[in-house]
Each structure stands twice: as C-alpha cells, then as structure tokens.
Structure 1
Amino acid sequence: MASGHFLKQHYRRNLLLLGILVAISLPLLAESETEETLVITGTKTERRLVDSPVRIEVVTAQELKNSHARDLAEALQNVPGVVLKPIHGKSGQEVWLQGFDADRVLVLIDGKPVSASTGASVDLSQIAVADVAHIEIVKGSVSALYGSSAMGGVINVITKRAKIGTSYKVTLDSGTHGEQNVGDSPFNNSHANFFISHNSGRWFGQLMADLRYKQGTDLDNSTWAFEGDAGTKSNLSAQLGYRFATGAELMIAPSYYHEDINKNFSSYVPGIGEVKKEKLEEAKRKSISISFDTPLFEKGELSAWYMFENFTDSTDQDILSTGYIDQSRLGESQFNKGEVQFDHPLGDNQLLTFGIVGLQNSLSQTQAKRTADEVVIVDEMQGEKTRSSVEFYAQNDIFIGDELELLPGIRYQNDSDFGSHIAPKINLMYSPNWLDQQMKFRVGIGSGYRVPTLKERHYIFDHSALGYMVIGNPDLTPETSTSLQVGAEYNYNDNFHADINFFYNDIKNLISTELDEQDSNATGLSIYKYSNIGKARTQGIDITSGYAFTESLSSNISYTYLDAINLEIDKQLTQRPRHQAKFKVNYQVQPINTLFSLYGNYQSEQFVDADNNIISPAYSTFDFKINTDISNSLTLFMGIDNLMGTTRDVPLTGDDFRPESGRFIYLGVRFTG
C-alpha cells in the first residue's frame, strides 16, 4: 500500500511538472481582441482589460460565435480553471472556481444578480447568451465589492448595447446524439434564436428570444430510465432606453425564463421489482430592472438601479402505476435589490468609488404527498423565510506614477439575521517601463464573507421515498475566508500571451451537508444536515499561454493545479479534480472563408466521499467546430461535441462524474444584418 501511495504521489508530481513545462514551452494563442475589451467587474468602473488591476478573464462575443454556445454553461466550458458540474438532484449546470462550489460563486447579468434555481446555486443552462457582448470572470474572493456569495468569484454576463441604426441576428441549429436519442426523431436537440436592436441616437432598444428543445439522452436504451432531461428551455428579454442631451441615460429591462422538462427514472422495491417513475419540472423566472446613469458635478458619475425578480420551481414525481401524481413540490423565491454608486476623481491620480446596496429576499417551499386516500401538505421551510441587508462599499483607485496602481477597498454589511461584518481588500498592479508595460504583475488580498442561505438554515428536503432527507440548520454561522492572488501577465503585440496566477484561499466555518448517524439510525433513513465543518483550504496555480503563428493559425493551452483540503480531517474536498488542462486550435482557410476549431478538456480523477475512498475516473473530451461565412450576412456552421463519446459507465452508481451524454453532431445557420 505504501509503495502504491508513493507511486501515485510521484505520478501526480510528474504530471504537475509536465503541465507547467508544456504551458511555458508551448506558448500558444491569446485572443488579440481582448486587449481592447472594456471590462467593469474587477473595479466596478470601466477599464481596458489589459489595464485592470484585478485579474479578469473574458469570453468574447467572437468566441461565443465560434464555439456555437447556446447558454452560459456552454460559454464557460473552455475557460481555464472553470469546472462545470451537473446540479445534484436537479436539471442544469453549475460553476465551481478555485475549489469553491457554485453556492459561493456569484452570477450576475450586467452587474445584477440572478436568483438561484436551487436556493443556493445558479443553473447556468437557464441563461441564453445570444444577446451577450462578452463574459467577465473574476476568481477568488470579491466580497469587498460584491458582498455575500462572492467568496469564490464572480461571473458577470455583459449584454450587448444597441448601436446606431437597426441590426438583427437569427440562429437555427439542430442535431442528434445518435443511438442515445430518446424518441424516434433524429433531431434530438434543437435551438432557435432571434435578436434585434435599434438605436436612433436618443431612443434605443433590443429584443432577444431563445428556445432550446431536447428529446432527452439515454446511456442504456434497454431500461425505462434515461439520464439527459427532455423538454424546453426558453428565454425572452428586452431593453428600452433613452439618452438625454446631458449625457444621462435611463433604461428599463424586463426578462422572462420558462423551463418545462421531464425525465424517466425508477427504483427497486423488494417483492415488487422495478417501479417506473417520471419526474416533471416547470420553472419560471420573471424579472425587471430600472437603471439610471448620469454625469454628476464636473467629472463625477452617478449610477443607480433597482431590480425585482421572482422565481418559481414546481416539481412532480409520478409513479406511473398509481394513476395520480404521488409527490409535488413547489418552491418560490424572490428578491428586491437596489444599488447607488458614485465615482469621482480626486485630482489626476485617484478615482474614488463608493456605493450603498439594499436587499430583501424571501424563500418558501411546500410539498404535497398523495396516496389513494389522502393528500398531506408539508411546509418544507416551516413558513416563508426572509432576510434583508444594507451594505456600504468604498474603494480608491490610486495611480503612483506610470508603473504602479493601488486599489484598496472595504465593504460594510449589516444583515437582518447575522448583524454587521466588514470585508476589506487591496489590489496592486505593477507595469514596469523596462518592458514597455507589456508585462503586468498583479497581487490581490481580500476577505471573503458569506451568510448562510435561507435554504441552508430552514430547508427540509423530504425524499423519504428514495431513502434520504436533507435538513436545514438554523444555528449555522457565516463563512469567512482570506484570499490571496498573485500573478504575472505578458503580452507581445497581438501574437503572444502568457499568464500565470497563484491562488490561496483559507476558509473558516465552511458550510457542508454531513450525514447524521444518530438520526439516521433512529429513522432508518439517511439524514443529512447542514453544518459548519470548520476549516478548509484551497490553493493552486492557473497557467495559460497562447501564440498566433500566422493570420490563419492560432492556438492556446491552459493548465490548472488545485489542492483543496478539509483541514478538520486532513482529506481532499470532494468533487474537485486536482489537475485540469484545456486547449484550443483555430485554423482559418481564407479562400473558402471557413474557420476550423478543435477544443480539448482534461480533468483528473476526483474523490466522491469525504474519507477519500471512492474515486470518480479521470476523463478527456474533444469538441470540433466549423464556421463558414457564405456572405456578410449568412454563416453556416456545424460541430461535433464530445467527439470520442466519453460517458459514465452504466448502470449508474452516483460515483461517476464523467459526461452523462455522448457524441452530439449538429448543423446550423446564422443570418445577420
């Protein structure tokens, strides 16, 4: 055993060394257009990407087009260090950053929050990206700027703004999973999108409609159950605004999301055999925001917004043999949130930013259990639960000569349930003149803070029919962390890019679900309870590098090493791959106006259980994309996702985190004008 352990450690060290050497010695692509991309997430003020003192990674509109991304999950799958996972017990995908799970990653659209589909994490597949200008990713604690839930980082989706005149885009695509299709139609997965915008100079507006339809996917067609959800997901959003002669701007932005999906599953009952069941889920998200921006005083700027969002999720579990819906669950969450921010320069070398944020949030959930004789209503939250908070933040962007920039900041939060907390941070960027400022060194230290969600404190998730329950804990205390980010970036012209970033996150009072053996033995069920497990640590390194060999050929490669430890028991945290590598190669064939792209993604093995005895296998996936511009307004495209057909083993055990769907082949067309 000792020899095996030594060989495994030796293998991992060699793999880490190999990844670093490859990333340094094969400097491949960087997106040249990102240098001029204007970003806002790192400082809450608009900056050029290369000039941001906070490290920001960007997915551009061109990359979204090249990769044929339909939703936010697909848009993020090629970002270095980003881990996407299926949401446990629900449909959809969630994002993990630097060893932090999705409950600790804040997802925003134009700086405004998205309600969590599970009460804690956001389903990225519910967010269409057809109206997206670019996506900004900030890793590590950003609590000083964005408050609770930003311990692990922020994903900020920046939507397009209407340009002068009228423009439109229509996208249609459809494809098949082959033998894994559920149903007889060869078109298993279809997508339609429509986007139009108009700007008259004063009035501007845009409308986006997106519809995705899936028949479902099945790894074993001989069984009743299938793994990939079937049904529809649709988005509808709009913006309408007016620009005043003074430079002020007023905008209203409503949006609507609807999801109607289903999946077959079954369970074995002694003496009866396989019991066939169906899960039906309908989700709706309705939101509206009003924003106002105006110049103030001589050089200052005032921005304010208010947002209301309501999210409902209705789930039915139906045993087909009973003739009625056996179990129904209805959850509803909503929030009101507003923010006012003021930016004003102090002389020529400082920019002061401060703001105030108000939030009111509520969550309720009920379950109906039916038998042939009665209906039992269970209040799983024990009444509607609410919380509110008021927060203040301030930062000062200080320029010291042409080479050094300091960005100290602080946030004060007063929560209705947990009182007051202060989260400070400081960032530094050094751009030495001896490299013509093509080299950037960045350091960031921040304090993370997260209050327990209403779900974690009050939820009673009764799945007795499947043998388990998850019970909230009203005695939970807030999580805190200290985050350190140290990195260097080098850009040479538009051809060469290299970036290395070290991260360290020290976490206290981490909230997790743990098995309660005493209650489990007493009830005969597996009883899981939320608890503060104490201390944890995540640390590692992100390396990316890129080179454009010619105008036609470019590529990039990235490697991420993650060490995530539960310090209470000195074991690796679960579901966190230690090694991750990604690459992309683009080849443009100019005579036929065609771009060929190949994407690769490798994830090492990961532990399933807290004692590190059960391991989910390592795996690799490859995606191949083709884009052909027939004219300035017509593009044909095709792709093969999961080219090698990598999937989980069947029958499913719950211990395998490889893809649940195999090879997907599709064709599409895009009209623009």
Structure 2
Amino acid sequence: MNRLIPIACLTLLGAPGAYAQTAQTDAAPATSATPPAKPALGPDGKPVQQVTISGGRASDMDERRNSIAGKQVYGREELDRNGDSNLGDILKRLPGVTIGGRPGRGGDVRMRGMGSGYTQVLLNGERPPAGFSMESLSPDQVERIEIMRGPIAEHSTRAIAGTINIILRDGYQQRDNQLKFTDTIEQGRHAPNVSLTVPGKVSSLTWLLTGSIFENRQHDQTETYNRDTRGDGVVLKDQNVLDETSRNSRGIHLTPRLTYKFDNGDTLNFQPFLMANRSDGNSRSDLTQNFGLVPPALQQPPEYNLALTSSHSESTFLRGFGNWVHKLQGASKLDVKFGFGSGHSDNDSVRYQYDNAGGLLNRYTDTSSVRDRSASSGGKYTTPIGKQHSLAAGWDIELGHRVETKTSLDKDGAAQFEDSGDNLTADTRRLAVFAQDEWDISKQWSGYAGLRWEGIRTTSTRSGTDISNTSSVLSPLLHAVYRIPDHDKDQIRASLTKSYKAANIQDLIALPSLSRLNSATRPDRTGNPDLKPELATGLDFAYEHYLGRSGILTAGGFIRDIDDLIRRQLSLQNTPTGPRWVSTPANIGHARTKGIELEAKFQLQELVADGPALDFRSNYSRFWSSVDDIPGPNNRLDAQPKQTANVGLDYRLKQVPLTLGASLNWTPETTIQSSVEQVVYTSRKRSFDAYGLWKFNARNQIRISANNLMAEDALGSNIVTTNGLAQLANTTNQTYVVWGVKYEMKF
C-alpha cells in the first residue's frame, strides 16, 4: 500500500532526509522507474511537494540502485525462473559468478574467477556451519541472493573477490501454502524432491515454515591417462584408469522462521536451520598397464588392476539464527544477533585392490568423524545524525570447537599415516568491532565510510602437541555514489577497500588426506599451522544506467593487489609407508588481479511499447592476473579463467499461458602455471539450459526444464615436472543432460 505525505512532514516522523538511501530503510524511495502521481493541491491551489513511501521491502532493482555500497539483489523471480534444483545452477548465471567442477556436479563458488576462500558466502549475513554446502540447499528455501562486489563493515571483510549473502525465506509475505513436486532425471535415474511452505499468524506471532525432502541418484565416469617420462625421453609409466561411481543420497531440510512483535515496537526473530543427509556409494576402478612405450627392463607392477570401494556417509547440521530489534528514542535502534550451531559427519569406506588374476593385494579401511559446535553473538546500534548521516557501530563474536578423528588401516591392520586414530581438537575464536557512516552529501553524492577490526585465533591439539595461529586485520572501507545531474537514470559507483582471505581450518591443522594412487598429480594433502592471511587492497568502479522497472546497463571494473598469497606446494616426503607426494599450503608472495564487468538486462516492452514480451539478460567478464614468484606466461591466480559470459532470454506468449526461456553459460579453456613445477589445464565449459512454464491458473503451474543440453565432456590436464621426471595426467569426465519437471500449487 502506498500513501502520499508532504515532504516537510518527514522530519517530524523521524524519517531520513529527502534523499537518504540507506540499506537499512524498509521503505522504498521514489525513483524514475515509478510513474509520478498526480500532484496534490494546497489551500492556495498550488501543488504540494510530495514523496511516495511504499510499504514493505523495496524491489530488487530499487534496493540495488539505492545501496551506497554496490549490491545486486536477486529475488524469487530469478530463483524460480529456470526451475533449478540447486543453488549452484542459479548462481552460475549471475554476473561474474562461476562454479568450479564440471557441469551438473557443482563445486566451489567463485566471484571474478577467484577460487575458494576469496569469495565469502554468508547465510542470513552469518558464516555458515562447517561442512555446509550450497549444492545441498534447495532454492525453495531461499528468499533472495545478495551479491556485494566490495566488503562492508558490518559483514566480515574476508571477501577479496566479493560476498554472496543467501537470505533464507523470511517474513509473513504470503497468504497461501505452497507445495512443489519436483523430479529430475539424469541417465534414467530419478531424483524426486518435495517442498512445502506454510505461512501463518496468530496475534503478534507470525511464522513461515519451509521444508523439503529429497532423494538423489547419480552415476559418474572418469577416464585418466597417466604417463611418467624421464628427462632423456624414456617412458617409465604408461597406464589408463577408468573410474565409475554410483551414489544414492537422501535428505531433509527444514528452515522455519518465527517473528514476534511486541507492543512497544520491538521485534524478535528466530530461524533454525536443519540439514540431515545420508549417502551410500559404490565405485569401481580399472587400471590398465600399457607396455608399448615402457622398456621391459623398467616395467613395474601396477598398484592394482581392479579396485572396488563401498562407502557410507552421514551428516547433520543444525544452526539457529536470531535477532532482537529494539527501537530507541527517535529513529535509533539496537539490533542484537545471536546464533548457535552443531554438526557432525561420519564417513566410512572399504576399498579392495586386486591383481590381474583376481588375487587380493590389499584392503584399506578408512573412517572419519567430525564434530563441530559453534556459538555467535553480535549487534549493531544505528542512529541518524541530522538529516544526512546514518551512523552504525557494532560487534561480532564467534566461538567454534571441532573434534576430528581419522583412521586408515590396511589389511594387516597397519596405520597408513602417523596420527591414524588420534583425536584432533581445534578451537577458533573470532572477534570483530566495526563502525560505519552512510552520508547523503548532496542530491548527487552519497558516501559510505567504514572501519572494521577482526581478529582470529585458532588453537589445536594433535598427538599431544599444541598448535596455535593468530591473525588480525584492520580494514578501512570507502564507497561512493554519484548521480549524474539531469540524467536521473545514470549513476557512477566507486569503492576503495581493504579485505583479506584467512586460511581455513583444514589448511591450518588438517589431518592428512590420503591418495590411493599417490603421485605428483594425485598427492596426499596436509596442513600448515604457520599460514598468514592474504591481505588485499581493492578498487571497484562502475557506471550504471537504469531502464524501466527492472532493466539496467552497467560497465565496471576492479583491481586487487594481494600480499602473502597462499598456494599449495608439492614435495616428495618420507612417511611410515614409504616415499609419498604431499601437497602443503604456504605463503609464497605477491599477486595482482584486475578485470572488467559488463551487464545488460531489460524487458523489451518497457523500451518498445508494441514489442514482444521478451526479457533479455546478459553479462560478460574479462579477468587478468599474475603471481610474482611464478614464471609466466600463465602465472595466473589459481583456477581463474580469462573470461566468462552468460546470455538468457524469456518469452511470454500472448495467446496461451506459456513462458519459454533459455540461457547459455560459457567459460573458455584455462591454462594455469600454478607453480614452477606444475601446469594445470581445464577445458571450456558451455552449459545450455532451457525451460517451459505453463500456468493453468493463479494457483497451479508446471515447469519443464533441461540443464546442460550440450553435455560436453570436461577435459583436464595436470603436468608436474620435478626431480628429472615429467608426470602427466589427462582426465576426461563425462557430463549429462538433466531433465526436470516441477509442479507448483498454492492452497
């Protein structure tokens, strides 16, 4: 509901200034995208200056436009568009976002092509629990996704590439219950999913109950060609490995939200989040030795000819988010947050390795158990200072405790690494304080200044030895928006920030992760307790031109200068089971990256009145990077592609209630000189998706979709040259078309 009031009354009501556009404001300020109302007349017959105030949250495009620190918002329209079954398929279409791994199998989320750890992923503005994977979160449980290119003080500045904030379903925004039945089919294997959303209200208590149950069946096939060649050209190893894996996973996700409004205007929100998953798998590995290139005198028996593995895993994560908003005198308020988390995961596998005659060579039994507990608290005090400033200050405290046990035994009961069976305990303490000021300097200028200090201490006990790592970062943050005079649809953004990437607990104190076919291209992985955080100075800038209600054209760029870059280094180490290749993280020096980012999206009918009902979306990004201590020409940041692009169309037919859409996601092939010894190649990735939506009526609709219609094989190459030996591994991973049917109903 909209209402019109004289602008002079805003000060009496404690509202921000006429052009205040802070992210905390619930009302949506009037923009050029909204047609002006007919002016009201005063007693003298002259028009009275008016402003439109809209109840509820601002639209996605208005929130993006009015945010001083650049923020892109994608709500239910984008989340529902293609009928995707996981968040990864949605994120891959957003500007500057790529997903590691091959199509249909997900991977780590990357902004600006920068790998895991550079992109901060938040859940309701908080760090998700350890072990959480976005691939397992149903889009039906998400209200919107916010993407921030530059860090802000109230969130952690652990965001060199940017931040993706996933907001779970919130608020009492619907009257109807929603029930969705989904079935995706891959290689004839079905993956059903049922989700239910139930809103309600009793007196001052409102709720939104969201849950889903699912089952997923998948089959993967990977072919690997291994060849080891001496410096004089003599081939020492020439073999093929065919790996096939079948998995069946089941799970339940619950995300209820409760809101209670007190008589004095205070609000209490609480949202628990439960994920329970179970998975069983079987795999087969066939190793074929090729003897044509290897001299007979140098031929070595293979590690195995056939390996059969069965595995079982269980995981349960419970996380609670809550906040209490207390209104103070005037327009000031205090927002106090609290949270807790508990999680456990157990993994068991048994691997049998046989020779060519079917004789048992070895049996490996691997078990692991991880228990995590966490608690967090935070708060933010917000108050206006005059008509132009919105000042906020606050704190964050997070405590975490982990107990991890790994056991790896062979058929004779011998341990496969030194600490097999021992408990590793780790405690993490994170403290942060921040202050920020959003300032409406003039009708053309708005600015943001923030400062955040964050300290992290990790301590652990392993085999009776105490290990600790302490780091702290001070991050000044500046953002500005300039609205071009006489061009009310155009504005320019710029940001100058400090951010960082902290070493994760696995890289600091991890128990070894063993490779059963150990080589320089398949090394064991371990941690390094002496890692320092990577520190980055960043500059972001963008030009924005808004089109109609939901259209935009943008051109921007970024620069990041990074110190204490973390990279994994290979070494051949003596272990209790003999020499093994081991990958260990280390700080190696300085790096820099930069890029340009383009985006265009619009509804054709807003530009051409008689045009077809066509929605167009596209984005393109180009990246450059270099690492000082690694020789070129491909000494780029780990796994960063040179380019990425998306294009999508939606067409609503006039004669029938049918909407058709398609999108293409493209990332070119990438070659990375990851160290002096190692070169990694990844083939191009093209994912073509399409859907059709038929609306029977306002309460019933069906959506049919197809993802990865091209189903191109994902190719990779890993070459390590060290100790006079070149080890090559070429991999071919099959990908598959995924068909989906989703029936949605309201009742």
- Structure 2 length-normalised TM: 0.77
Counterpart-to-counterpart distance in 2, 1:525 and 1:371: 16
- CA gap of 1:496–1:412, structure 2 versus 1, over 3 A, is closer
- The Cα of 1:250 is off from its aligned counterpart by 1.0
The aligned residue for residue 560 of structure 1 is 621
Q: Which residue of 1 aligns with 2:9?
A: none
Amino acid at match of 2:645: A
Map of 1:457 onto structure 2? 508
**In the alignment, what sits opposite 1:132?**
142
Whether 2:327 is the aligned partner of 1:295: answer yes
Specify whether residues 385 and 496 from structure 1 end up closer, same or farther in structure 2 by C-alpha distance, changes over 3 A only.
closer
Q: 1:87 to 1:520 in 2, by over 3 A?
A: farther
User: What does the per-residue CA deviation read over 1:565-609, in whole Å, with 9 as the maximum and x for residues that have no partner?
Assistant: 222214122322111110010100132211101110111111255
2:375 matches 1:343: no
Equivalent residue in structure 1 for 2:77, among 48, 51, 62: 62
Q: Quick one: structure 1 residues 513 and 381, their matched pair in 2 at CA, closer, same or farther if it must change by over 3 Å?
A: farther
Determine the structure 2 residue equivalent to 1:270: 302
After superposition, give the CA deviation of every residue in 1:123-174 in whole Å (9 maximum; x if it has no partner).
211222213221101124x164322532322111123334377421111121
Q: Higher mean Cα deviation, 205-214 or 343-352?
A: 205-214
Provide the secondary structure at the position in 2 that maps to 1:326: strand
CA–CA separation in structure 2 for the residues paired with 1:658 and 1:320 = 24
What code does the residue aligned with 2:346 have? Answer: S
Q: 2:666 aligns with which of 581, 592, 602?
A: 602
Cα distance in 2 for partners of 1:475, 1:652 equals 28
In 2 relative to 1, CA 655–442 (structure 1 residues): closer, same or farther, beyond 3 Å?
A: farther
Match status 1:394 vs 2:446:
no
Paired residue secondary structure (2:89): helix
What does 1:69-80 align with in structure 2 at a 5 Å threshold?
Answer: 69-80=84-95
The answer on whether the counterparts of 2:431 and 2:456 sit within 8 Å (CA) in structure 1 is yes
The answer (yes or no) to whether the contact 2:245–2:284 under 8 Å persists in 1 is no
Q: Under a length normalisation based on structure 1, what TM-score does the superposition of the two structures give?
A: 0.85
Alignment of 1:330-409 (within 5 A): 330-372=369-411, 374=413, 376=415, 378=419, 383-409=424-450
Supply the distance in 2 between the matched residues of 1:521 and 1:579 (Cα, whole angstroms).
Answer: 45
| Higher share of residues assigned helix | 1
Of 586, 596, 599, 1:544 maps to 599
Aligned-residue offset at 1:47: 7.9
1:414 to 2:432 alignment: no
From the superposition, tell whether residues 213 and 325 of structure 1 become closer, same or farther in structure 2 (CA, over 3 Å).
farther
Between 1:323-332 and 1:577-586, the stretch displaced more is: 323-332
Q: Are 1:593 and 1:629, in contact at CA under 8 Å, matched by a contact in 2?
A: yes
Q: Distance in 2 between matches of 1:380 and 1:95?
A: 33
Q: Which amino acid aligns with 1:526?
A: W
Cα distance between partner residues in 1 of 2:535 and 2:158: 11
User: Which residue of 533, 537, 548 corresponds with 1:482?
Assistant: 537
Distance 1:609 1:544 in 2: 30
Question: How far is the alpha carbon of 1:317 from its aligned partner?
Answer: 2.3
Query: How far apart are residue 212 of structure 1 and its match?
Result: 2.8
Q: 1:461 offset after TM fit, Å?
A: 1.9
Residue aligning to 1:423: 475
CA-CA distance at 1:628 after TM superposition: 0.9
Tell whether the 8 Å contact from 1:224 to 1:276 is kept in structure 2 after alignment: no
Residues 413 and 422 of structure 1 are in contact (CA less than 8 Å); yes or no, is this contact kept in structure 2? yes
Amino acid at match of 2:745: F
Question: Any conservation in 1 of the 2:129–2:319 contact (CA below 8 Å)?
Answer: no
Contact 2:592 / 2:625 at 8 angstroms: preserved in 1?
yes
Please list every run of 5 or more consecutive structure 1 residues that lacks an aligned counterpart in the other structure. 1-31
The verdict on how the C-alpha distance between 1:508 and 1:266 changes in structure 2, with shifts beyond 3 A counting, is: farther
Q: Deviations over 1:490-545 (max 9, x none)?
A: 01323742011101111111222211246699942111111012111121011011
CA distance in 2, matches of 1:658, 1:198: 51
Aligned equivalents of 2:716, 2:495: Cα separation in 1? 45
Give the strand-richer structure, 1 or 2.
2
CA distance in 1, matches of 2:455, 2:718: 45
Write the distance in 1 (CA, Å) between the matches of 2:202 and 2:731.
50
> Aligned pair 1:240/2:295, yes or no?
no
The answer to which of 154-163 and 303-312 deviates more is: 154-163
Query: How big is each residue's C-alpha offset from its partner over 1:243-289, in whole Å with a ceiling of 9 and x where there is no partner?
Result: 11222111222221122224433454827411111333222211123
Structure 1 residues 662, 226: CA separation in 2 closer, same or farther (over 3 Å shift)? Answer: same
Shift of 1:364: 2.9
Match of 2:216?
214
Pairing partner for 1:440 from 461, 466, 491? 491
Q: Select the structure of larger CA radius of gyration.
A: 2
AA matched with 1:248: D
Q: Identify the residue that residue 668 of structure 1 maps to in structure 2.
A: 742
The aligned counterpart of 1:24 is none
Once the two structures are TM-superposed, the CA of residue 475 in structure 1 deviates from its matched residue by: 1.2
Hey, what does 2:177 align to over in structure 1? 168
Q: 1:651 to 1:506 in 2, by over 3 A?
A: closer
Q: Is the aligned partner of 1:628 residue 2:660?
A: no
- Quote the Cα distance in structure 1 between the aligned partners of 2:59 and 2:524: 42
Measure the CA separation in 1 of the matches of 2:328 and 2:246. Answer: 52
The alignment partner of 1:462 has SS state of coil
Show the counterpart of 1:514: 569
* CA gap 1:470/1:153 in 2 versus in 1, 3 angstroms: same
1:260 equivalenced with 2:274 (yes/no): no
C-alpha change, 1:587 and 1:657, in structure 2 (3 Å) is farther
In 1, distance between residues paired with 2:97 and 2:501? 21
- Alpha-carbon deviations, 1:177-220, whole Å to 9, x = none? 2xxx3xxxx44222221111113451111211112322212347
For the residue of structure 1 that corresponds to 2:170, the secondary structure is coil
Moved more, 478-487 or 189-198: 189-198
Determine the C-alpha separation between the residues in 1 that align with 2:650 and 2:500. Answer: 41
Structure 2 regions of 5+ residues with no counterpart?
A: 1-32, 35-53, 224-240, 288-300, 354-359, 458-468, 606-611, 720-727
Deviation at 1:636, TM superposition (A): 0.7
CA drift of 1:663 comes to 1.0
Which letter does structure 2 place at the counterpart of 1:424?
Answer: P
Cα deviation, 1:353-380, whole Å, max 9, x if unaligned, reads 1101111122332112234554759468
Gap change, CA 1:528 and 1:560, over 3 Å in 2: same
| TM-superposed deviation, 1:404 | 0.1
Q: 1:646, 1:608 → 2: CA distance? A: 21
Distance 1:55 1:192, change over 3 A: same
CA distance in 1: counterparts of 2:732 and 2:68, whole angstroms: 37
Q: Offset at 1:299?
A: 0.9
Residues 251 and 330 of structure 1: CA distance in aligned 2, closer, same or farther (over 3 Å): same
CA RMSD of aligned residues (A): 3.3
Q: Is 1:99 the equivalent of 2:113?
A: yes
Distance 1:265 1:247, change over 3 A: same
Q: 2: CA distance between counterparts of 1:271 and 1:145?
A: 53
Cα distance in 2 between the residues matched to 1:39 and 1:453? 36
Match runs of 1:28-43 below 5 Å: 38=57
Letter of the 2:101 counterpart: P
